[in-house]
Amino acid sequence: MAELSAAEAYRILIGSRIRSQLAYRASFWLNVATSVAVGLVEFVEIYAIFANVPVFGGLDLRQSSLVFALSNIGFALADTIFGQLDTIPTYLRLGRLEVLLVRPMPLLLQLVTSEVQMRRLGRLAVGVLIVVIVLPGLDLSYTASTVYLLVITPFVGAAIYGAFFATAGGSQFFLIDGAEFTSAFVYGGSYAGQLPGSVLITPIRILFTFVFPATVAAYLPSLLIMGLPGPRFLPAWLGWFAPVFAVWAWLLAWLAWRTGIRRFTGAGG
């Protein structure tokens, strides 16, 4: 008998989750509205700064908004796909992970496909809206490289932020009580990533570029798009290597995940 391909299997899994969400109509749209509100409030933070000063980290409001928007789109995508991983502590407590382990599917994939939070895309809509609004005023020259960067940055950003989620997820197995530690790079990373990296003081700048590459998710590519140079330790040309940074981030995630599973199954001793 023919065996289902992995792709078909995942399609069925994710399809059922999406369908089940759309089934609860009213609550779903309410959640989308909430997600939009979250995106807006985060933008107001940037706006409030510019209500006080015209230039922030070497960027004006429009330029900063581009960074913010690209970062948020990436993060919203990552949150939609990987956001489910923050239920791991609950699963651990309830002992539900054992049920998942006796299934012939990798644990990470089971958790990721166990829920697809469609409503988090509301935040993404805010990001897209902002990009659409500020793009004309930025007066960019639309060369091939600019267009390439504009299109690919949200996805590479999503990959980077997704890696943070995965690192956090894997770490839950050995951090347990120390789970809050992961907020430092998941939500700290999202925060640092939507700001102009030039405002970050040096130690933080290094942390969020070379360890958890949040500034590479949106700020550096944005500098390249707008043709601006970067600050100390953060030259704009690094932005071309965003995919490399994404691979690095996933390497960390894989390490955390492996350590976590081994700890859970007791192989760590």
Partner 1 sequence: MRTYLVLAAAEFRRYSTYRLAILAGITTQSVFGLIRVSVLFAAISSAGGTLAGYDRQLASTYVWLGQALLAPIALLGWIEIAERVSSGEIAVDFARPLDLQLAWWARDLGRACFQLLSRGLPPLVIGAVTVGLAWPDSWSAYPLGLMSLFLAVSISFTLRFLVNLIAFWTLDVRGFIGLYLVVGSFFCGLFIPVHLFPKWLQVVAYATPFPSMLQTPIDVLSGWVLGWAAAALVASQLAWLVGLVGLARVVQWRAARRLVVQGG
Partner 2 sequence: MASEPIVQLEDLRRSFTVRQKVGRLRRQTRVVHAVDGISASVQPGEAVGYIGANGAGKSTTIKMLTGILVPSSGRVRTCGYDPVPHRRRLAREIGVVFGQRSQLWWDLPLRDSFRILGAIHRLSAEEATVRTEELVDRLGLADLLDTPVRQLSLGERMRGEVAAALVHRPRLLVLDEPTIGLDMISKERLRHFLVAERAEFGTTLLLTTHDMGDIERLCDRVLVIDRGRLVFDGTLPSLAERVALQRVLVVDLPEPSPDLQVSAAAHIGSDLDGQRQRLAFSPKETTAARVLAEVSAVTEVVDLTLEEPAIEDIVRTLYGVG
Interface ranges with partner 1 (CB under 8 A): 27, 30-31, 34-35, 37-38, 41-42, 44-45, 48-49, 51-57, 119, 175-181, 183-185, 188, 191-192, 195, 198-201, 203-204, 207
Q: How far apart are CA 122 and CA 118, in angstroms?
A: 8
Q: Is 7 in the site for partner 2 (CB under 8 A)?
A: no
CA 67 to chain centre: 14
Q: Crossing angle of helices 144-175/219-226, nearest 10°?
A: 170
Q: Decide: is 26 part of the binding site for partner 2 (CB under 8 A).
A: no
Rounded CA-CA distance 201/134 in Å is 27
Q: Which two tokens stand for residue 1?
A: 């008998």
Name the minimum Å distance from CB 219 to partner 1.
13
- Work out how close the CB of 38 gets to partner 1 at its nearest, in angstroms, rounded to a whole number: 5
Site residues for partner 2, 77-96, by CB under 8 A, read 94-96
Of the chain, the end-to-end C-alpha distance in Å amounts to 42
Q: From partner 1, partner 2, none, which one binds at residue 244 (CB under 5 to 8 Å depending on kind)?
A: none
Rounded Cα distance between 40 and 133, Å, is 14
| Residue 178 engages partner 2 in binding (rule: CB under 8 A) | no
Q: How far is the CB of 198 from partner 1 (least distance, A)?
A: 8
Q: Is 204 in the site for partner 2 (CB under 8 A)?
A: no
| Helix pair angle (121-138, 61-82), 10° resolution | 160
26, 48, 53, 102: residue in contact with partner 2 (rule CB under 8 A): 102
Between CA 41 and CA 182 the distance in angstroms is 23
Selection from 178, 42, 48, 65 nearest residue 123 by Cα:
42
CB of 188 to partner 1, least distance (A): 5
* Of the residues 4, 132, 184, 244, which one makes contact with partner 2 according to CB under 8 A: 4
Q: Which residue has tokens 């990987």?
A: 82
Among 18, 20, 27, 176, contact with partner 2 (rule: CB under 8 A): 20
- State how far the Cα of 12 lies from the Cα of 8, in Å rounded to an integer: 6
> Minimum distance from CB of 196 to partner 1 (Å)?
8
Q: Which is nearer to partner 2, 92 or 129 (CB)?
A: 92
Nearer to partner 2, 113 or 153 (CB): 113
Q: Residues 6 or more apart from 74 whose CB is under 8 A from it?
A: 153, 154, 155, 156, 157, 158, 160, 161, 193, 217, 218
Interface segment toward partner 2; rule CB under 8 A; list 5-13, 122-130, 140-148, 160-168: 5-13
Name the minimum Å distance from CB 121 to partner 2.
Answer: 21
Supply 163's token pair. 């890696």
CB of 214 to partner 1, least distance (A): 10
184 is a site residue for partner 2 (CB under 8 A): no
**56 has which bridge partners?**
59
Q: CA 176: distance to chain centroid?
A: 22
Interacting residue ranges for partner 2, rule: CB under 8 A:
1-6, 8-9, 12-13, 16, 20, 94-96, 98-99, 101-106, 110, 265-267
